[in-house]
């Protein structure tokens, strides 16, 4: 188990754990964040779908591929600063220009470089399951890496040692003040970069919201409230059940059945809500390979396909409901149609939203989507 960091001074609030793939950034970042009570930001989750596909196919990312990704990370770091939480960003930050871009968003940002040799990185990436990064790209990571030696506010860590020791070293360094000469250089570096993006309140979307007006706000309020109530109900029911089991030796069987029902509702209300916000389905991967002139046509086809698919699902749900009225759930005895109702409503909502999207495709001047999909990899 880890021991507390020896010094009692307030730690620096912002750090990037950098290094090549397999150096142990994610693991170290999670450890440091846990120890210092900071937010862990995983840069891998901010790559566009296109970047992930490139890496999966064994193609190293270029500077251009990384620019939007870095900008999303800048916004995420600024959000943490605004929220007043310290953060640990796990990010390769291989080139000097990438690091300067990040420094520019958060003056005083520190970096801990996890240094490993090629064989160690290769072995760790090779042994890691369920990750998109192939071992064939490890070499290119070393080729791209520009050493941060000599840059202000950088800790050099030998990351071939045990993860706990690496975390310990980083945490101790976070408590140590940076010499004032180095700090001045750090702040100076940050102010050199132009065009810092201003922090945005909304998280990046996979595409544009389908519509944005008073009705959209009401729709969001309705779905958000419904989801909060359903979630609270599920937590409450499970909690009561556990307490009853422990305190009285037998639980309330209905709790399980009703929380399952609430879960079904939660999923389908969430589906309709995220579709409105433009976060549910976004078919840009193939579309973006075509000239812009073809985009409207391709978008229209996908909107029509979504509308048709959702319409068919609504129809199916309607049939299921017919049977559901006659059948009761085994424990509480509610008509099973109630479990199909959210499917029906949400599929009708999806079909309608897809049609609105279709109309928007032809009605509005199209803006470039604000951000590409966030892909969860770790």
Ligand X SMILES: Nc1ncnc2c1ncn2[C@@H]1O[C@H](COP(=O)(O)OP(=O)(O)OP(=O)(O)O)[C@@H](O)[C@H]1O
Ligand Y SMILES: O=C(O)[C@H](O)[C@@H](O)[C@H](O)[C@H](O)CO
Q: Which residues bind ligand Y (CB under 6 A)?
A: 21, 44, 47, 61, 66, 92, 94, 133
Distance in Å, CB of 372 to ligand Y, minimum: 14
8 A C-beta contact, residue 35 and residue 170:
no
CA–CA distance, 20 with 124 (Å, rounded to integer): 11
Using DSSP, state whether 8 is helix, strand or coil. coil
Closer residue to ligand X in complex, CB, 48/90: 90
Distance in Å, CB of 19 to ligand Y, minimum: 9
CA–CA distance, 185 with 193 (Å, rounded to integer): 14
163 touches, from ligand Y, ligand X, none (C-beta below 5 to 8 Å by class): ligand X
270 touches, from ligand X, ligand Y, none (C-beta below 5 to 8 Å by class): none
8 A C-beta contact, residue 132 and residue 126:
no
241 touches, from ligand Y, ligand X, none (C-beta below 5 to 8 Å by class): none
Q: Which of 61, 224, 266, 33 is nearest to 145 (CA)?
A: 61
Rg of the chain's alpha carbons, rounded to an integer? 25
8 A C-beta contact, residue 23 and residue 115:
yes
Closer residue to ligand Y in complex, CB, 54/276: 54
Using DSSP, state whether 245 is helix, strand or coil. helix
How many angstroms separate the most distant Cα atoms in the chain? Answer: 78
Q: Which of 75, 64, 66, 68 is nearest to 41 (CA)?
A: 75
Distance in Å, CB of 93 to ligand Y, minimum: 8
Our finding on whether 126 is near ligand X (CB under 6 A) is no
CA–CA distance, 183 with 110 (Å, rounded to integer): 10
Q: Which of 22, 31, 148, 152 binds ligand X (CB under 6 A)?
A: 22
Closer residue to ligand X in complex, CB, 159/353: 159
24 touches, from ligand Y, ligand X, none (C-beta below 5 to 8 Å by class): ligand X
Eight-state DSSP code of residue 120: H
Distance in Å, CB of 47 to ligand Y, minimum: 6
Distance in Å, CB of 346 to ligand Y, minimum: 34
94 touches, from ligand X, ligand Y, none (C-beta below 5 to 8 Å by class): ligand Y
Our finding on whether 27 is near ligand X (CB under 6 A) is yes
CA–CA distance, 197 with 275 (Å, rounded to integer): 27
124 touches, from ligand Y, ligand X, none (C-beta below 5 to 8 Å by class): ligand X
- Chain residues in the site for ligand X (CB under 6 A): 19, 21-27, 44, 90, 92, 124, 127-128, 133, 159, 162-163, 166
């Amino acid at each position: 188990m880890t021991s507390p960091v020896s010094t009692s001074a307030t730690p620096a609030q912002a750090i990037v754990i950098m290094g090549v793939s397999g150096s142990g950034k994610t693991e170290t970042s999670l450890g440091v964040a846990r120890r210092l009570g900071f937010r862990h930001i995983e840069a891998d989750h901010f790559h566009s779908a296109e970047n992930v596909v490139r890496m999966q196919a064994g193609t190293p990312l270029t500077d251009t591929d990384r620019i939007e990704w870095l900008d999303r990370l800048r916004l995420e770091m600024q959000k943490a600063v605004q929220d007043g939480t310290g953060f640990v960003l796990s990010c390769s930050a291989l080139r000097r220009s990438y690091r300067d871009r990040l420094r520019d968003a958060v003056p005083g940002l520190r970096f801990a470089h996890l240094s490993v040799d090629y064989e160690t990185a290769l072995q760790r990436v090779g042994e890691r399951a369920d990750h998109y990064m192939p071992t064939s790209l490890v070499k290119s990571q070393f080729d791209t890496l520009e050493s941060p030696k000599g840059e202000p506010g950088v800790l050099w860590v030998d990351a071939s040692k045990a993860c706990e020791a690496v975390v310990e070293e980083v945490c101790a360094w976070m408590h140590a003040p940076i010499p004032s000469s180095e700090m001045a250089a750090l702040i100076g570096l940050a102010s050199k970069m132009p065009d810092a993006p201003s922090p945005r309140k909304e998280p990046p979307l996979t595409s544009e919201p389908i519509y944005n007006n008073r009705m959209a706000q009401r729709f969001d309020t309705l779905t958000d409230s419904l989801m909060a109530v359903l979630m609270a109900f599920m937590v409450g029911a499970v909690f009561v059940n556990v307490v009853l089991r422990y305190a009285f030796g037998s639980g309330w069987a209905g709790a399980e059945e009703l929380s399952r029902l609430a879960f079904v509702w939660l999923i389908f209300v969430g589906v309709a809500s995220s579709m409105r916000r433009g976060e549910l389905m976004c078919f840009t991967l193939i579309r973006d390979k075509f000239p812009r002139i073809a985009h409207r046509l391709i978008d229209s086809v996908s909107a029509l396909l979504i509308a048709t698919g959702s319409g068919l699902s609504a129809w199916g749900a309607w049939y299921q409901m017919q049977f559901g009225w006659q059948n009761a759930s085994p424990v509480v005895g509610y008509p099973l149609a109630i479990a199909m109702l959210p499917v029906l409503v949400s599929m009708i909502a999806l079909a309608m939203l897809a049609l609105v999207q279709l109309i928007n495709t032809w009605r509005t001047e199209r803006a470039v989507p604000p951000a590409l999909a966030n892909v969860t990899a770790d």
